[in-house]
Amino acid sequence: MHIIQFLTLYGVVCGHFQQHHPHVNHLQKRNAISNKSNPIATQVLIIGAGISGLEAARLLQKNGIKTLILEARNRTGGRIWSIHSKNGHILEMGASYIHGIYGSIPSGLLTNPIWDLTQEAKIRTHATKQKDFLGSYQIGDSISAIQSWFNEYMIFVREETRISSTNVSFGYYANLFAKQKNFTEEQQYAFTNYLHFFIGAVEGAELDAIGAKGYLDINSVHYGRNHIFSETGYMALTDYLAKDATDIRLKEVVVKIAYNEKSAEIETN
């Protein structure tokens, strides 16, 4: 084992997938050169080479602060993981698209930071439309009817959240809306499935766990078409952040953290 001492800790939750990536060989060579028998000191230690950890390192390094990133996997990217097939297709196993490219002040403080980074890195993207997404629906219910229900439902939720001070879930409002519409069992299934696809899947949570008021407040700031990295995969963004990181150690699983008022000590396997 070896120990790393540092003054400030920035933690990003590490995942459990480990897959090969073009950055791995370069970073593994860097690891082999380092002397793992001696304690290493750094100003800031970052746990996890996902997008949050990589961006934290980039911003700190811009301000002259020394960083060291520990990553349990054998690749960078964290939950962002793009697989390239032999015939040139890209499969996104994690993040898939940018949730809106504009903010309430275009190119200002409230723009989507992921979009800003994409523009800075000059990564080409492709705008998507609602028809580009696939979902499953009950036979007999046309997609246009379900889309109409969805639009009506969103208006209904907006009105309900204006008069409600509590952050009631989308699931609650979905049941309330279905009762008012007097849906059949099949219609309610199709409608709920549509909500899961366009809201639940995007947020990565069940409808009962997503507060409607908070969701609508956030979406009033970030809006615009969803974009995807159709030519490169989403990992092109984390690759861009990782390329200038001064010190990334792969396959370093943190097993112990101890700290006091003056310093912190990290132990890896």
- Indicate if 141 and 167 belong to the same structural domain: yes
Is 192 a member of any domain?
A: yes
In 69-227, alpha helices (H): 113-121, 143-163, 170-181, 185-195, 201-203, 212-219
> Are 190 and 258 in the same domain?
no
Angle between helices 185-195 and 143-163 (to 10 degrees): 70
Residues 168 and 240 in one domain: no
Least confident of 127-131, 157-161, 167-171, 261-265: 127-131
Residue 201 in any domain: the answer is yes
One domain, residues 197 and 258: no
pLDDT in tens, 166-206: 779 999 999 999 999 999 998 888 899 889 888 887 777 89
Domain count, the chain: 2
Residue 140's domain comprises 130-219
State residue 140's pLDDT score: 52
125: in domain:
no
Could you tell me the CATH number of the domain that includes residue 264?
Answer: 3.50.50.60
Q: Sorting pLDDT into bands at 50, 70 and 90, what band is 60?
A: very high
Domain-embedded: residue 122: no
Whether the predicted pLDDT of 208 surpasses 90: yes
Are 215 and 60 contacting, i.e. CB atoms less than 8 angstroms apart?
no
Choose the most confident range, by mean pLDDT, from 85-99, 185-199, 234-248. Answer: 234-248
- Same structural domain, 65 and 35: yes
Mean pLDDT of the chain: 80
pLDDT, residue 219, reads 65
pLDDT above 90 coverage of the chain, percent: 45
Q: Are both 144 and 209 inside the same structural domain? A: yes
Asked if residue 97 is part of any domain, the answer here is no
Instruction: Evaluate whether residue 227 is within a structural domain.
Output: no
Top pLDDT among 29 and 48 is at: 48
CA distances from 182 to 5, 113, 156, 158, 177 (A): 63, 42, 15, 20, 8
pLDDT at 223: 58
Q: How many other C-beta atoms lie within 10 A of the C-beta of residue 108?
A: 9
Higher-confidence position of 59 and 21: 59
- The full length of the chain comes to 269
Mean pLDDT value of segment 87-110:
77
Residue 91 falls within a domain, yes or no? no
Q: What does the block give as tokens for 41?
A: 């000191």
The answer to whether position 93 is within a domain reads no
Cβ within 8 Å of residue 164, ≥6 positions away: 213
- Whether 203 and 255 share a structural domain: no
